[in-house]
């Protein structure tokens, strides 16, 4: 098949964007910066107004969110990353609260229009297929629904498999740019994170399928799994921490019920090593987020173990992972998709893990959540809760029992105050209070 491409310039390609359009950007490392810059130049020239921009977390600059583009570009993101958090807090951008699993459905059901999808792909193969590389998530749905698809063909985009592979016929305009993908590097776990990692690792059984995202705590957990056997990966994202376990044969997917022997993800963020790892690797399936984050599909894997972080937890088990205070938003992400899916799995474990205090010494376990805090995992969904001080199972426990268990893994400096708060909250006739009074 002839796969010769007729390229155009970024400036020419973005001329298909009209005032009032909705534009989707591919996520994380695959944000198409050359198209973003060309679109913003049109905005600066006064050629556009009221253009809505949508994306999940993106790495790199986000110039369309600059306050100077008020009335020109309106960012309505599905997840608020660090590069657009300040402008979102200040009101120059907004976000659409949505479970990660449903971001693709926003386009497919028409709740959010998609006029133009701007993506990055690898060079075409001999059959005329390109790959979405590190960003399938809601991008595949955007490609399916958009009036125009503009693709940056980039030799640095890995040729990943699964639902990442799309025919060139789905693309209307091609631009060439070989800028390397954005990389993300994570620091080594500190003492607290290592302790959390050990407590989480103790809950993971051989043959488990894992979801644990990216960051210090996931890396700390992965670092403790060298002695495990036959682990699998079904997650919304992964990073460098999985690579040593794949090399050792610890992660092999042999016990998985869905996609046995395969690692499944919907987007990636990490170093070049991760991008090289998925390139031409049939052992990794990059899938639509409607598949990776479907609780039913997640639950089909026995011993599904989901490890997610939190910003704050209250004495009843309400989990805030979205906001603290009235002017902070990030987004729900995939936490509840996997908490629910793991809870339904045979032998599954849903784990919320966090340090017990902030870097400033403030307890992250609170009598009640901070005003304005967004509840992501409700007290009805939480099972295992882990801090550096231990792991407690809250499933099936009363509010009073939960309070005692949660306080038991709080930072020692906060336990007395939390005890008093529980005493005041539950009232003098509650069993917790009677036990508290007898002990004090």
Question: Is the Cβ–Cβ distance between 223 and 197 less than 8 Å?
Answer: yes
Q: Is the dihedral of CA 209, 254, 186, 213 positive or negative?
A: negative
Specify whether 236 is catalytic: yes
Q: d(Cα 117, Cα 39) in Å, to the nearest integer?
A: 12
Angle between helix axes 399-408 and 431-439 (nearest 10 degrees) is 40
Q: Check residue 430 and give its pLDDT.
A: 55
CA atoms within 13 A on the CB side of 78: 29
Q: d(Cα 17, Cα 42) in Å, to the nearest integer?
A: 9
Which residue in the block uniquely carries the two structure tokens 């629904």? 145
Question: Is the Cβ–Cβ distance between 196 and 309 less than 8 Å?
Answer: no
Q: Check residue 322 and give its pLDDT.
A: 77
Q: Which helix (H) or strand (E) holds 40?
A: helix 33-44
Looking at the domain that runs over 191-422, which CATH code has it been given?
3.40.1080.20
Map residue 399 onto helix, strand or coil. helix
The burial class, CB within 10 Å (0-12 / 13-18 / 19+), for 294 is: middle
* Cβ density class 147-182: b for 16+ within 10 Å, e for less: ebbbbbbbebbbbbbbbbbbebebbebbbbbeeebb
Tens digit of each residue's pLDDT, the chain (440 residues): 446 789 999 999 999 999 999 999 999 999 999 999 999 999 999 999 999 999 999 999 999 999 999 999 999 999 998 899 999 988 999 999 999 999 999 999 999 999 999 999 999 999 999 999 999 999 999 999 999 999 999 999 999 999 999 999 999 999 999 999 999 888 889 999 999 999 999 999 999 999 987 788 999 999 999 999 999 999 999 999 999 999 999 999 999 999 999 999 999 999 999 999 999 999 999 999 999 999 999 999 999 999 999 999 999 999 998 754 444 556 778 999 999 999 999 999 999 999 999 999 999 999 999 988 889 999 999 999 999 999 999 999 999 999 999 999 999 999 999 999 998 887 655 555 555 545 55
Phi, psi (rounded to 5 degrees) for 333: 65, -150
| Domain 7-176 top-level CATH class | alpha beta
Question: Is the Cβ–Cβ distance between 96 and 333 less than 8 Å?
Answer: no
What are the residue ranges spanned by the domains of the chain?
7-176, 191-422
CA dihedral 241, 245, 248, 254 (to 10 degrees): -150
pTM of the model: 0.93
Phi-psi map region of 271: left, alpha, beta (phi>0 left; psi -120 to 50 alpha): beta
> Which is it for strands 73-77 and 304-309: parallel, antiparallel or unpaired?
unpaired
The length of the chain, given as a count of residues: 440
Which residue in the block uniquely carries the two structure tokens 């809505």? 52
Token pair, residue 72, equals 């020109």
Token pair, residue 196, equals 């959390």
Q: Check residue 289 and give its pLDDT.
A: 98
Among candidate residues 236, 254, 388, 424, the one labeled active-site is: 236
Question: Is the Cβ–Cβ distance between 7 and 34 less than 8 Å?
Answer: no
DSSP 212-250: --SSHHHHHHHTT-TT--SBEEB-SEE-GGGHHHHHHTS
Q: Is the dihedral of CA 43, 48, 50, 52 positive or negative?
A: negative
DSSP label at residue 258: S
Domain 7-176 matches domain 191-422 at the CATH topology level: yes
Q: Check residue 426 and give its pLDDT.
A: 77
Question: Is the Cβ–Cβ distance between 214 and 184 less than 8 Å?
Answer: yes
Token pair, residue 396, equals 């099936």
Q: Which residues pair with 24 in a beta bridge?
A: 54, 117
């Amino acid at each position: 098949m002839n796969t010769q491409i007729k390229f155009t310039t970024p400036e020419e390609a973005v001329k298909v964007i009209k005032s009032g359009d909705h534009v989707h950007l591919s996520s994380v490392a695959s944000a198409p910066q050359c198209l973003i810059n060309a679109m913003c130049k049109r905005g600066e020239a006064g050629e556009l107004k009221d253009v809505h921009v949508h994306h999940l977390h993106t790495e790199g600059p986000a110039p369309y969110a600059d306050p100077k583009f008020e009335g020109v570009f309106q960012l309505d993101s599905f997840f608020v990353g660090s590069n657009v958090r300040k402008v979102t807090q200040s009101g120059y951008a907004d976000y659409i609260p949505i479970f990660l699993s449903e971001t693709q459905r926003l386009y497919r059901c028409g709740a959010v229009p998609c006029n133009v999808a701007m993506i990055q792909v690898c060079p075409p193969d001999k059959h005329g297929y390109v790959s979405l590389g590190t960003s399938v998530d809601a991008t595949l749905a955007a490609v399916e629904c958009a009036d125009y698809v503009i693709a940056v063909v980039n030799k640095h985009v890995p040729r990943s498999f699964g639902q990442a592979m799309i025919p060139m016929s789905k693309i209307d305009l091609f631009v060439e740019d070989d800028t390397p993908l954005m990389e993300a590097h994570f620091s080594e776990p500190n003492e607290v994170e290592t302790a959390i990692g050990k407590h989480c690792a103790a809950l993971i059984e051989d043959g488990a399928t894992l979801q644990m995202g990216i960051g210090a705590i996931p890396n700390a957990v992965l670092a403790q799994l060298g002695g495990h056997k036959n682990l699998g990966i079904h997650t919304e994202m992964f990073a460098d921490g999985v690579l040593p376990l794949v090399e050792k044969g610890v992660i092999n997917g042999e016990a998985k019920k869905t996609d046995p022997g395969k690692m499944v993800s919907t987007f990636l963020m990490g170093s070049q090593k991760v991008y090289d790892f998925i390139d031409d690797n049939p052992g990794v399936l990059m899938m639509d987020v409607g598949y990776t984050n479907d609780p039913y599909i997640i639950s089909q894997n026995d011993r599904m173990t989901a490890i997610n972080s939190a910003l704050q937890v209250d004495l009843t088990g309400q989990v805030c992972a979205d906001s603290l205070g009235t002017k902070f938003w990030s987004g729900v992400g995939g936490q509840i998709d996997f908490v629910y899916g793991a809870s339904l799995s045979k032998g599954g474990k849903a784990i919320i893990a966090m340090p017990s205090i902030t870097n400033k010494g403030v307890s992250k376990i609170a009598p009640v959540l901070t005003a304005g805090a967004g509840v992501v995992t409700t007290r009805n969904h939480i099972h295992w809760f882990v801090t550096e001080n231990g792991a407690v199972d809250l499933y099936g426990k009363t509010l009073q029992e939960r309070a005692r268990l949660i306080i038991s893994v709080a930072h020692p400096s906060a336990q007395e105050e939390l005890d008093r708060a529980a005493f005041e909250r539950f009232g003098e006739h509650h069993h917790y209070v009677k036990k508290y009074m007898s002990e004090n």
